[in-house]
Chain A
Amino acid sequence: MNRIERAFSNGKAFIPFITAGDPSIEVTERLVHELANAGADLIELGIPFSDPMAEGPVIQAADNRALSAGATTDKIFDMVKRIRRTLDIPIAFMTYFNPVFSYGTERFLYNCKEAGVDAIIVPDLPYEERDELKPYCERSGISYISMIAPTSKERIDRIVTEAEGFIYCVSSLGVTGVRSHLELDAESMIKRVKEFKDIPCAIGFGIATPEQAKAMAEISDGVIIGSAIVRIIGQYGKDCVKPVTEYVRQIIDAIK
């Protein structure tokens, strides 16, 4: 069983997202340890990008804070290496394609492998452009995570047939960010996925409250929470570790 499979072997998976380097590399490192201790099943680490086209204002602000504080791709690789010395938790990178491409896709994936990253999620690489990254992932043994959205419809079949690791199901239209109301399109999306492949489905975008997390966990294999956590980090800065951990424990209690 690889680390990604393990993430979905302990009941419903809880996947927190944080932007690496927000508010600093040191705080991110502490957060990863505390999230793992609290019972997170997989950590989604954002490599900040200047122009994150799929993010709402909360995560975009986090990307800006991280870049202003000096986060770079190399510093983030170094951080993951340090984390891996003591932690075996599955880690997925989330970033946009330009930071990968500009770094050199092959070199980027090689460094992922060396550092102990398990998977990569790139929201601006749709199925049509997968050849930019997927072959490199296969060569390095990194899982290439596919996303599906409520607008995907018949595209789901093609995407899922080639998918590996898990499917990132986008809960609703629009960009990332907390929503008071979540549509239940996700349920039919996941049904369609499972008709094609027995692969774990995690739902993200818009989930914030324990109630929402519980409802989404019931129809899927795991929930991804980003903006709600990043908002706490934005509010508390370097003192965010405790309030983030408290919030995360509530979510885990609700879904496990």
Chain B
Amino acid sequence: MSKGRFGIFGGQYVPEVLMNAIIELEEAYHHYKNDKDFINELNKLLAKYAGRPSELYYADNMTKSLKGAKIYLKREDLNHTGSHKINNVLGQVLMAKKMGKTRVIAETGAGQHGVATATAAALLGLECEIFMGKEDTKRQALNVFRMELLGAKVHEVTSGTQTLKDAVNETFKEWTNRINDTHYVLGSVMGPYPFPDMVRDFQSVIGKEVKEQMLEAEGRLPDIILACVGGGSNAIGIFHEFIEHPEVRLIGCEAAGHGVETDKTAATMATGRLGVFHGMKSYFCQDEYGQIAPVYSISAGLDYPGVGPEHAYLKDIKRAEYVPVTDKEAVEAFEYLSRTEGIIPAIESAHAVAYALRLAPTLGQDKIMVINISGRGDKDVAAIARYKGEEIYE
């Protein structure tokens, strides 16, 4: 079995032309993750530039309204650029710069990872090009302009379903065109090794903070942690610190779209099969011949036919649970959190909030639940209005 495995999952399934670049990245990752100067520099950026640590907010109104578990929100939406994506991006772009790369490329679904990458590239003085499905450039028009404002060049991807999966395809292809001066800033805990490990390490700051903040607030660990899962980076980020504490239930909420019984879904854990795609062995939505299925979710960031290999492993060993949440439930939760707490969550994060609305009332008041609010929902306001039949454009 090759490197970078979580059980049978993971690996390095990429064309030969990319292998030396992947190996170079592996070596850099192993070097810098233990390099004191790099760690200090990154921590300084996370604190002074991204605004970490993010708050662990006790949601009193929500707790009272649900009459069950005590609810805390991890406020990744308050980070600079508005989501958890900045954690990974600052790490990768800083590393790319130290590796002597002068250009970064990245895929984006909802635009959050693209915006974060463009931001870090602007800050650290690297050239930046972003690949985004044409369908998503329509759903998230404001983020396209935001990336351009930050000096990035945005490429509309017109192949396939014109969403996140196709943006990843095109970014990998672009990487094969130009390897020497270019680093691919992959946005989730997916792809070939070392990406799933490296992105997890950069995102695990979320869970580390939650542990400290929870011990300070409650003197104990939470009972349940909820996070949305597309590729799975915010979920791994908050789960990772708690994997060794089996008493903490870890629940990933995936996008069911119109429902797992329909073909308009992106719930990989519920409907996918073992496969090999985008450089990794994991679960994928696919047909009987292994053709990758066109998936659907209202959320551009969860609209992905696969899931990171570590999540597949956590599911297999039953350390984490994965539940599907529909568009309708997510939109209701989006509105609920806005009205109840005055916090507009990203539609991605609203999938985790939606499951909390189902679960919290079934639990005793002595239970503590943490929901990762992975991003803010400003980007989604127009799309939600359209979903509800109102023609608002940014």
Using Cβ atoms and an 8 Å threshold, which residues of chain A touch B173? Answer: 53-54, 56, 174-175
Q: Are the CB atoms of B19 and A50 closer together than 8 Å?
A: no
Nearest opposing residue in chain B for A100, CB measure: B290
- The answer to whether A152 and B273 touch (CB under 8 A), given A72-B289, A98-B292, is no
Task: Give Cα A205 to B388, complex, Å.
Answer: 49
- The answer to whether A53 and B20 touch (CB under 8 A), given A102-B289, A129-B13, A174-B176, is no
For chains A and B in complex, what number of residue pairs have CB atoms within 8 angstroms? 119
Q: Are the CB atoms of A102 and B286 closer together than 8 Å?
A: yes
CB under 8 Å from chain A, chain B span 1-24: 1-3, 11-21
Contact of A173 among B1, B19, B169, B178 (CB under 8 A): B178
For chain B, the count of residues having a C-beta within 8 Å of the partner chain is 39
- The answer to whether A50 and B292 touch (CB under 8 A), given A57-B159, A98-B284, A174-B177, is yes
B248 interfacial by beta-carbon distance below 8 Å: no
CB under 8 Å from chain A, chain B span 50-102: none
User: Hey, what's the 0/1 contact readout for A94-111 against B, CB within 8 Å counting as 1?
Assistant: 000111111100000000
A11 interfacial by beta-carbon distance below 8 Å: no
Q: Is the interface of B mostly helix, strand, loop or mixed?
A: mixed
User: Hey, what's the 0/1 contact readout for A135-159 against B, CB within 8 Å counting as 1?
Assistant: 0000000000001111111010001
Q: Are the CB atoms of A124 and B13 closer together than 8 Å?
A: yes
Nearest opposing residue in chain B for A95, CB measure: B290
Nearest opposing residue in chain A for B275, CB measure: A98
Task: Give Cα A60 to B159, complex, Å.
Answer: 9
CB under 8 Å from chain B, chain A span 186-216: none
Q: Are the CB atoms of A102 and B20 closer together than 8 Å?
A: no
User: Hey, what's the 0/1 contact readout for B147-172 against A, CB within 8 Å counting as 1?
Assistant: 00000000000011000011001001
For chain A, the count of residues having a C-beta within 8 Å of the partner chain is 41
B179 interfacial by beta-carbon distance below 8 Å: yes
Task: Give Cα A175 to B176, complex, Å.
Answer: 7
Q: Are the CB atoms of B290 and A102 closer together than 8 Å?
A: yes
CB distance from A86 to the nearest CB of B (A): 27
Task: Give Cα A151 to B273, complex, Å.
Answer: 33
Q: Are the CB atoms of A170 and B291 closer together than 8 Å?
A: no
Task: Give Cα A126 to B12, complex, Å.
Answer: 8
B323 interfacial by beta-carbon distance below 8 Å: no
CB distance from B159 to the nearest CB of A (A): 6
B277 interfacial by beta-carbon distance below 8 Å: yes
A166 interfacial by beta-carbon distance below 8 Å: no
Task: Give Cα A126 to B20, complex, Å.
Answer: 11
B260 interfacial by beta-carbon distance below 8 Å: no
CB distance from A165 to the nearest CB of B (A): 16
Contact of A125 among B13, B21, B159, B273 (CB under 8 A): B13
B224 interfacial by beta-carbon distance below 8 Å: no
User: Hey, what's the 0/1 contact readout for A160-173 against B, CB within 8 Å counting as 1?
Assistant: 00000000001001
- The answer to whether A97 and B16 touch (CB under 8 A), given A60-B159, A128-B2, is no
Contact of B16 among A49, A53, A152, A175 (CB under 8 A): A152
Q: Are the CB atoms of B286 and A155 closer together than 8 Å?
A: no
Using Cβ atoms and an 8 Å threshold, which residues of chain A touch B20? Answer: 151-153, 155
Task: Give Cα A100 to B18, complex, Å.
Answer: 21
- The answer to whether A102 and B275 touch (CB under 8 A), given A50-B292, A67-B291, A73-B289, is yes
B276 interfacial by beta-carbon distance below 8 Å: yes
Q: Which of A74, A98, A123, A149 has the most CB of B within 10 A?
A: A98
Contact of B290 among A53, A98, A148, A155 (CB under 8 A): A98
Q: Are the CB atoms of B14 and A126 closer together than 8 Å?
A: yes
CB under 8 Å from chain A, chain B span 155-201: 159-160, 165-166, 169, 172-173, 176-179
CB distance from A178 to the nearest CB of B (A): 15
Using Cβ atoms and an 8 Å threshold, which residues of chain B touch A155? Answer: 16, 19-20
Q: Are the CB atoms of B290 and A128 closer together than 8 Å?
A: no
A51 interfacial by beta-carbon distance below 8 Å: yes
- The answer to whether A53 and B15 touch (CB under 8 A), given A72-B289, A98-B290, A124-B276, is yes
CB distance from A153 to the nearest CB of B (A): 6
Using Cβ atoms and an 8 Å threshold, which residues of chain B touch A173? Answer: 17, 176-179
Contact of B277 among A98, A127, A170, A175 (CB under 8 A): A98
Using Cβ atoms and an 8 Å threshold, which residues of chain A touch B292? Answer: 50-51, 98
CB distance from A4 to the nearest CB of B (A): 20
- The answer to whether A129 and B2 touch (CB under 8 A), given A51-B277, A175-B173, is yes
CB distance from B163 to the nearest CB of A (A): 12
Contact of B15 among A102, A123, A131 (CB under 8 A): A123
Q: Are the CB atoms of A129 and B11 closer together than 8 Å?
A: yes
- The answer to whether A170 and B17 touch (CB under 8 A), given A53-B169, A57-B159, A175-B173, is yes
Q: Which of A49, A50, A131, A170 has the most CB of B within 10 A?
A: A50
- The answer to whether A127 and B291 touch (CB under 8 A), given A98-B276, A173-B179, is no
Task: Give Cα A153 to B14, complex, Å.
Answer: 17
CB under 8 Å from chain A, chain B span 321-369: none
Q: Are the CB atoms of B290 and A103 closer together than 8 Å?
A: yes
Q: Are the CB atoms of A101 and B290 closer together than 8 Å?
A: yes
Nearest opposing residue in chain A for B158, CB measure: A57
Using Cβ atoms and an 8 Å threshold, which residues of chain A touch B159? Answer: 57, 60
Using Cβ atoms and an 8 Å threshold, which residues of chain B touch A57? Answer: 159
CB under 8 Å from chain A, chain B span 241-291: 273-279, 284, 286, 288-291
Nearest opposing residue in chain A for B273, CB measure: A102
Given A100-B290, A129-B11, A151-B17; 8 other pairs, CB 8 A cutoff: A51-B292, A53-B169, A53-B172, A54-B173, A102-B289, A128-B11, A147-B16, A151-B20
- The chain A residues found within 8 Å of chain B, CB to CB, are 49-51, 53-54, 56-57, 60, 67, 72-74, 97-103, 123-129, 131-132, 147-153, 155, 159, 170, 173-175
- Can you list the 4 inter-chain pairs with the closest CB atoms, starting with the nearest? A102-B290, A149-B17, A174-B177, A99-B290
- The chain B residues found within 8 Å of chain A, CB to CB, are 1-3, 11-21, 159-160, 165-166, 169, 172-173, 176-179, 273-279, 284, 286, 288-292
